[in-house]
Amino acid sequence: MSADIPPSERERELRRLQAIAIALLLGALVILLLSAWMGGQGVWAWTLAFSEAAVVGALADWFAVVALFRHPLGLPFPHTAIIPANKARIGDQLATFVRDHFLEPKILLQKLALFDPAARLGQWLAEPAQVQSWVAAVRAWSLQALDWLDDARLQLALKELLSDALQRWNSAETAAQVLRALTKDGRHHAVLDAGLLKLAQVLDQDEVKAQVSAKLAQYARAEWPKMIGVISVFKSVDSMADELSSKLAQAIILDVVAVLQDAEHPLRKQYEVKVMDYIARLGEDQGIQAAFNDVKTQLLQRPELSDYSRVLVQEIKAWLRADLSREDSALAQHLARAMAALGEKLRDDASLRAAINEHVLAAAEKLVVDVREGVTEHIAKTVKAWDEAQLVKTLELSVGRDLQYIRFNGTLVGGVIGLGLHALLTYGVPLLRGV
């Protein structure tokens, strides 16, 4: 019977077939009794042979079928009630079978490799109808998620979770980790070079030199008015400031060029030491970490930040809801185009397919290895925990129908064998004796 047929219907079918098997047994028994009563001679000898073997076959197969699930006639015959008595061993062997035949990494990976996930994904993405259907489903899920976010209880829970996470967050340690990543392989020297180069470019601009010159002249007149008055007789203070500004810019530019050209320049080494020292202190100095976290806490407690965040979230949600509610949603169209482009790329780029398949197989292997023993243990424990009566009933409903055909065959095939034996004894043995 199909697995999707209700248990009640399967039970009725099982009872019907059991009744037929019993009827065949009773029929064979009636023929046996009638044949014996008629003397078992002539044609009755043949019916006697048939019915006698049929009864034996029917009873033997009945015993065998019943012995799988319970003790026949309620008597503890040896090796009966096989399934309940061996439930633990069945659970272990079933779990081992599933592990070795369904969760064996090599077998799974071979089948997954033949499946070619990347090519299948490309074929799926090549069908516009399927992409549109999936995008429509994503739109519906997203709108539902936005509706969930309108729930005041959920908002409060999310706010508390986010607040707790931010309070526990060590901002100084995170900053140290980010800076370590940014300075890996000397990347911070590239930042220094870019900054110095930008400084040299700025100082070399005429308008910058003019501004510096003006500031120098203004400062000189304010600080040394009498001296400037005397000097102005011989040379203009503004021209002197221009010359000083130009020479100052040139000197700084020369120093910048020297740093840029020399990997071992003292300024560069000082920069290296200070950066590394600061990163180390960020990760280890309790005082600096406390200062970082104090700033973080103060920011989190600012009502302006809370109000801004709330308004920003509301505006983003409103925009998302308005866009996703339209049939021509911009986000949905971007997603559809991205999926279509990925499908074309997968179709045309064999190296991309190979790379994706390689990563999928690697992930699948790790996943199988991780869950293999866990699934095996789960299956074994589940089977062992089943109630014996429920286990017997479930299995009997699942395979009992097929087992009744064994009883049918035992009755009919047994009878035919009985006829064959009777024929051998009646005709074959005398013939052999005559030979």
Per residue in 288-322, pLDDT (tens digit) is 888 888 888 888 788 887 788 888 888 888 999 99
Averaged pLDDT, 163-180: 82
Per residue in 51-72, pLDDT (tens digit) is 999 999 999 999 999 898 888 8
HEC-encoded secondary structure of 175-199:
HHHHHHHHHHHHHHHHHHHHHHHHH
Burial 63-92 (b: 16+ CB within 10 A, else e): ebbbbbbbebeeeeeeebbebbeebeebbb
Name the residue with higher pLDDT: 338 or 8.
338
CB contact at 8 A, 253 and 203: yes
Pick left, alpha or beta for residue 104 (phi over 0 → left; psi -120 to 50 → alpha; otherwise beta): beta
CB contact at 8 A, 353 and 122: yes
Q: How far apart are CA 314 and CA 167, in angstroms?
A: 23
Hey, where are the domains in the chain?
7-85+387-434, 171-301
Work out the pLDDT band at 211, boundaries 50, 70, 90: confident
Question: Does residue 119 carry a pLDDT above 70?
Answer: yes
Averaged pLDDT, 36-55: 91
Output the pLDDT for position 233.
64
Angle subtended at Cα 245 by Cα 240 and Cα 246, rounded to the nearest 5 degrees: 100
Share of the chain above pLDDT 70, in %: 97
Work out the pLDDT band at 34, boundaries 50, 70, 90: very high
Per residue in 74-85, pLDDT (tens digit) is 888 888 888 888
Averaged pLDDT, 19-35: 93
Output the pLDDT for position 1.
43
* Mean pLDDT value across the chain: 85
Per residue in 86-115, pLDDT (tens digit) is 888 888 888 888 888 777 788 888 888 888
Output the pLDDT for position 5.
66
Q: How far apart are CA 193 and CA 189, in angstroms?
A: 6
Give the other-Cβ count within 10 Å of 121's Cβ: 18
CB contact at 8 A, 188 and 182: yes
CB contact at 8 A, 425 and 117: no
Averaged pLDDT, 326-348: 90
